Amino acid sequence: MSRPRVVIFPGLTPASEWEMMAGATMDIALAARACGDEAEYRIQAERAEAYHQEAEKMVALMVTVEDANLAEPAAELLPWL
């Protein structure tokens, strides 16, 4: 019996990278706020939220399968998602 594997569809950025970008962007937002630039803070905070949402989408697209061959039919669902 083989162990289940997590398959990430080719061409998609792993969720952890999106979360790292969200964290770094939020750091920029907080630095802008500390300097009194509320407009830049809002822009960067919105960008950080968008990165976080991309990470959540990425996690939703990860599929656990017992056989890696099952990932190919699952890839057909991407346009539908």
Chain segment 6-18, per-residue pLDDT in tens:
555 555 567 788 8
The pLDDT score that the predictor gives to residue 60 is 72
Assigned domain for 63 exists: yes
Q: Which regions of the chain does DSSP assign to beta strands (E)?
A: 5-7, 63-65
Return the percentage of the chain with pLDDT > 70, whole number.
Answer: 58
**Do the beta carbons of residue 22 and residue 48 sit within 8 Å?**
yes
Of 20 and 60, which is predicted with more confidence? Answer: 20
Residue 20 has pLDDT above 70, yes or no: yes
Q: What distance in Å separates the CA atoms of residue 54 and residue 19, rounded to the nearest whole number?
A: 8
- Counted domains in the chain: 1
Assigned domain for 36 exists: yes
Assigned domain for 80 exists: no
With 0.75 as the threshold, say if the pTM is over it: no
Three-state secondary structure call for residue 62: coil
Residue 18: how many CB atoms within 10 A of its CB? 21
**Residue 54: domain span:** 5-75
Assigned domain for 27 exists: yes
**Do the beta carbons of residue 13 and residue 58 sit within 8 Å?**
yes
Query: What does the mean pLDDT of the chain come to?
Result: 75
